[in-house]
Amino acid sequence: VFALLFVPAVPVHAEEETSADISASSDHAAETSAASADASEDIIAQETDYYIKSLFVDITVREDNVFDVTETCVYDFIQPHHGPVREIPENHYRYYADGTNCYVIARVSDFQVTSPDANTDVSKENGAYYIGSSDETYTGEHTYVMSYTYSITSPDPLEDADELYYNIIGTGWACPIESASWKITMPSSFDTDNIGYSVGTYGSAGYNPDHLTSSVNGLVISGSYDTALYPYEGITIRCELPEGYF
């Protein structure tokens, strides 16, 4: 049986909290760090099938609104599994806080997988990438590095601005994610005050700044989430950009 992994077709809106450097005060951070560790242990302890021990997402954004994505996933298979199934939705609706929405046309190409310790044969059925072999099963920790190109081909949804709007981790992952971090390299300068995140289930807006840390160094946005995500919780980034950025 494959371990189903799924990224949602509809991104949540990242609007509420915006900062180029988001972190808690030192005293409060120490308290929340301990609470986060306890919460993460509780989430993972409830899992009896498999979970993601760590997920690092590395995204390079091109000038033509194309994303080169690499996901380094460390799975812990509690029960035997052939490997993950990765489904990456393409066309989807994008929703905004004012109640409006737009239809986004996107394409996934050049999907590849490597692993130092597991079979990486890939077959595609009904839009899903099945990784592994039906003749092999795994338990314990195994690392998969998945890379692909995500191209947005629909017209700009905003009349007088462009935007970075991306599900770093979508709300369809069917297992807990113990640790999440990311790096996004932008093609040119941007206003760091416009960066916003959403964390939670589908339709969520905003996040708890005690758990999410984000910083900008030049064109690179880096971030991490210090407590486990429950199944079907995700992280979305949004940054309004000048018209003509893409």
- The per-residue pLDDT for range 192-229, each reduced to its tens digit, is 999 999 999 887 888 888 999 999 999 999 999 999 99
Residue 164 has pLDDT above 80, yes or no: yes
Residue 236 has pLDDT above 80, yes or no: yes
Residue 75 has pLDDT above 90, yes or no: yes
First-to-last CA distance in the chain?
Answer: 42
Beta strands in 2-137 (DSSP E): 3-6, 17-18, 50-61, 66-81, 84-87, 92-95, 101-104, 106-114, 122-125, 128-131
What would the two tokens of residue 226 be? 């210090």
Residue 96 binned pLDDT confidence (cut-offs 50, 70, 90): confident
What integer pLDDT is reported at residue 148 of this predicted model?
98
What would the two tokens of residue 245 be? 């950025």
What integer pLDDT is reported at residue 69 of this predicted model?
98
Per-residue pLDDT tens over the stretch 12-59:
433 333 223 333 333 333 344 455 556 677 778 787 899 999 999 999
Per-residue pLDDT tens over the stretch 168-193:
998 878 899 999 999 999 999 999 99
